[in-house]
Amino acid sequence: MHGSPGRTVPWPIWLGLVLALLAASCSGAGEAGFEVVDPSLETRIVVVPDKPPRPLERVVIHAVGDVLARADLAIGADKPLSGAAGLFTNDALTIANLACAAKPDEAAEDGPENVLCDRAQFTDVRTIGIDVVSVANDEAPLQGRRSLRTTIGAATDAGLLVVGGGTNDDEAYAPTIIEAGGWRIAVLAMTAIGSNFAEPDRAGVAAVERTEQAEAAVAAARENADLVIATVHWGRPLDRDPERRDRDYADMLIAAGVDAIVGHGPHRLQSFALVDNRPVFWSLGHFIWPVGEPADADSAIARLEIAPDGAMVTCMLPVTIDPARAPQLDRQDPDCHAQG
C-alpha cells in the first residue's frame, strides 16, 4: 500500500461530486441506476457497503487490460513504467487480463503466434507487481482445454493467482481472496467472448452469460469478502462504447453484490460509468501489447483507493504504449485525488 497521502480534493469539487451522486441516485433519469461519468471528472467517491467491524487501513488496488507475455514486448523489472516505478509493487493488489496461451513447451510454435506466451515471461509479469491474472477470455483457451490447463499451470508456477478458468466449472467461477490492510478482497473473472466454457466435468473458463452460475459465484464471494471485484472480458472488437448486453451483465453482477467491475476485450480504451453507484471500467484497452495503429496505444490503469471508513475513490490513470512497446503513465502523480 502507498504510505504517503495524495493531495486532497478541493472542498467545492468534493461536495459537487457527492451532490451529483445523490442527485443521480434520486432522480431516476435515464436508465435505472446508470450514470455515465464525465471523462473530465475522473474521480468518484462511493461507499463500500459491507465495511468490516475490525481495524482497517487504506488500501490501493490497480487493474490493467490486456497483457501479452511475449519476449519481444516491454516487460520486466528492468523496464519500469515511466513515472510510476513501483506503482504495482507498492499497492495492495494489481489485476490484469492474461491475453495469451502458454506455449506447450519452449520449442513449440504451433497455433496463432500472436497469442502464444513465453512461459519465462510469466515471471516478469509477476515481477512488475501484477498479482492476479484472468484467463476468462478467448485468448488463453484458444488452443483448447489442454492449453488452458497448461497456461494456468505456468502462471501459477510463476507466482500469479489465476481466476476465471479451471479444470471444471467450480474452479472457473471460484474467486481468489487476498487479505490486505484488514480487508478481505475477492477477485473473480468471467467472459462474454469465446466458447470454451467450463463444465462440471470439463476444463474451461467462466461464462458471464450463464447468469445463475455468475450470480451464485458473486454471492459466494460476497459471503467471504469485504470487497468483491469482477474482471470481465466483453465488448465488440475495436468499439469505443460498451454493448447493450454488457450493460445488462454489469447490472446483473452489481445486483448480485459486486463492488467494482474491470472490463477488457474490445482492444480499445473505453470510458467508465457508475452503475447503481458502483464503478464500471468498460475496457482498459491494451497494457502490454504490440501497437499496430495509433488507437492500439491508448490505455489506462484503473485505480481504486479504499479508506478505512469505507469511502472508495476511483479513477482512470491515462497510459500510452510507446513505440518501444512499453506502457508509459501520462502523468507523474498517480493519485486519484490529483484530479482536482
| Residue-range domains of the chain with CATH | 32-339 (3.60.21.10)
Q: DSSP string covering 195-239, please? A: S-B-BTTB-EE-BTT-HHHHHHHHHHHHHH-SEEEEEEE---TT-
| Burial environment of residue 311 by CB neighbours within 10 A (0 to 12, 13 to 18, 19 or more) | middle
102 closest CA partner among 64, 159, 67, 153: 153
- pLDDT tens-digit map of 183-205: 999 999 999 998 889 999 999 99
Q: What is the reported pLDDT for 85?
A: 63
Measuring CA to CA, how many Å separate 1 from each of 11, 84, 91, 139, 287?
25, 14, 4, 31, 22
- pLDDT tens-digit map of 50-105: 677 888 999 999 999 999 888 777 776 667 666 566 889 999 999 999 998 887 75
Phi, psi (5° rounding) for residue 108?
A: -70, 140
Give me 275's grid cell. Answer: 452503475
A 10 A CB-CB count for 53 gives 6
| Burial environment of residue 215 by CB neighbours within 10 A (0 to 12, 13 to 18, 19 or more) | middle
**What is the rounded distance in angstroms from the CA atom of residue 243 to the CA atom of residue 105?**
38
* Distance separating the N- and C-terminal Cα atoms of the chain: 22
Residues 6+ apart with CB under 8 A from 131: 93, 94, 95, 160, 161, 178
Measuring CA to CA, how many Å separate 117 from each of 157, 170, 189, 234, 292?
14, 26, 20, 21, 19
Give me 159's grid cell. Answer: 507466482
Contact (CB, 8 A) for 126 and 161: no
**What is the rounded distance in angstroms from the CA atom of residue 331 to the CA atom of residue 56?**
30
Q: Considering the entire predicted model, what is its pTM? A: 0.84
Per-residue pLDDT of the chain in tens (340 residues, 90 and over written 9): 433 333 333 333 333 333 334 334 433 333 445 555 444 445 556 667 667 788 899 999 999 999 988 877 777 666 766 656 688 999 999 999 999 888 775 444 444 455 788 888 899 899 899 999 999 998 887 667 788 899 999 999 999 999 999 999 999 999 999 999 999 999 999 999 988 899 999 999 999 999 999 999 999 999 999 999 999 999 999 998 999 999 999 999 999 999 999 999 999 999 888 899 899 999 999 998 888 889 999 999 999 999 998 888 899 999 998 887 788 888 777 888 644 3
